[in-house]
Structure 1
Amino acid sequence: MESWYWGLFIAGILFALATLIFGEVLGHLSGMLDSASGHHLPFLQPAVLVGGITTFGGAGILLSRYTELTSWQSGGLSLLIAAVLSVLVYLVYVKPMENSENSVAFSLQELVGKIGEVTVPVPASGYGEVMVRTGVGVTNQIAESLDGRSIPSHLRVVVVEVKNSVLLVSPLDSDPLN
């Protein structure tokens, strides 16, 4: 039984090393399996699976060598230890990392209602440019005056509408920011 534990322990370590070295390839394979099956099983995450296999093998080795437990008892206790550790790895590492994935992408429609600053003056009939904060960054977008009045640089504006990928803006202030 101890040789079986050693095999699982070594296989878990080798798989962990392979994941470390070839992580991108294995991540793509995992993604293809998720999309092919139509659902996602959290215990099939490589970190959870490898952690469970390695823990099961390591706990089995330690319990069979250093306790008076029978092989069935050490196997059951090793399985319990591996399951608890796998759940902890999922809850403490995998789940928070899934939730932390952010995107810097935005839609122009999301800018409606946002306040920006004119960076290139907007003429009465024509286009200028405004800088608008999006999440943690800023974006510069082509802008046109909503009411046909010119808007000077450094003036705060509000995005009222988006038409043909152009922001229609209206001045918030009458004095430019300096």
Structure 2
Amino acid sequence: MEVLYWSLLILGIFYAAITLLFGDVDAAIGEVIHIPFLQPAVLIGGLTSLGASGILLIRYSDLLPWLIFVLSLCAAVVVSTIMYFFYLKSIAKSEHSIAFSLNDLIGSIAEVHTSIPSQGYGEIIIHSKTGATNQIAASFDGIDIPSYTKVVIIDVRDHTAYVSPMEELQRL
């Protein structure tokens, strides 16, 4: 029985090393398994804790082998449950990206940080819920735009935001 416990512990350590070296192995397996609590990280974590607790109980207790297996199985269920609820579920909630596309910024209001010459480039600051971002900008209308002017992003081409001053738009 000790060989089984050592095998499970070594399997868990090997899986952790493979995941560390090659990235998220769970993603490929997780696509096949659609039951949330049967994710590979939960299963491997449970099997590893089954092996570890079995080894510890064999070495440091005088319990009967069947009782050691039952206690180790209970420890595996507890570890798997903790791993699922406190680790995997919280990670799933935090997997939202704050990335954005420049094309998503069209129509946004920004402020000129570095003045934009009529035939050159400057810099704008766009404030959003996730923070502020600086972008390269050029004048859409071909006019000089001084610093601290409120502008609207009209177009995005070649990684450059083309902007117009808010006053110019209000006159139209």
Normalised by the size of structure 1, how large is the TM-score? 0.65
Consecutive unaligned residues of structure 2, counting only runs of 5 or more, are 168-172
Consecutive unaligned residues of structure 1, counting only runs of 5 or more, are 173-178
1:152 aligns with 2:145: yes
Q: Deviations over 1:37-78 (max 9, x none)?
A: 3847454244x3332222110111223343454433322221
Deviates more, 1:48-57 or 1:111-120: 111-120
Q: Which residue of 1 aligns with 2:47?
A: 53
Deviates more, 1:113-122 or 1:2-11: 113-122
Runs of 4+ in 1 over 6 A off after TM superposition: none
Normalised by the size of structure 2, how large is the TM-score? 0.67
Three-state SS of the structure 1 residue aligned to 2:12 is helix
1:73 aligns with 2:67: yes
**1:92-111 counterparts in 2 under 5 A?**
92-98=86-92, 99-100=94-95, 102-111=97-106
- Kindly, what percent of the aligned residue pairs are identical? 24
**1:120-159 counterparts in 2 under 5 A?**
120-121=115-116, 123=118, 129-133=122-126, 135-136=130-131, 137-145=133-141, 150-159=143-152
Contact 2:29 2:40 in 1 (8 A): no
1:114 to 104, 109, 115: 109
RMSD across aligned C-alpha pairs, in angstroms?
3.4
Q: CA deviation at 1:7?
A: 1.7
In structure 2, relative to structure 1, the CA distance for the partners of 1:66 and 1:118 (3 Å cut) is: closer
Contact 1:132 1:140 in 2 (8 A): no
AA aligned opposite 2:145? P
AA aligned opposite 1:162? I
1:32 to 28, 31, 37: 28
1:23 aligns with 2:22: yes
In structure 2, relative to structure 1, the CA distance for the partners of 1:54 and 1:32 (3 Å cut) is: closer
For 2:84 and 2:117, locate their aligned partners in 1 and report how far apart those are by CA, in whole Å.
52
State the aligned residue count.
160
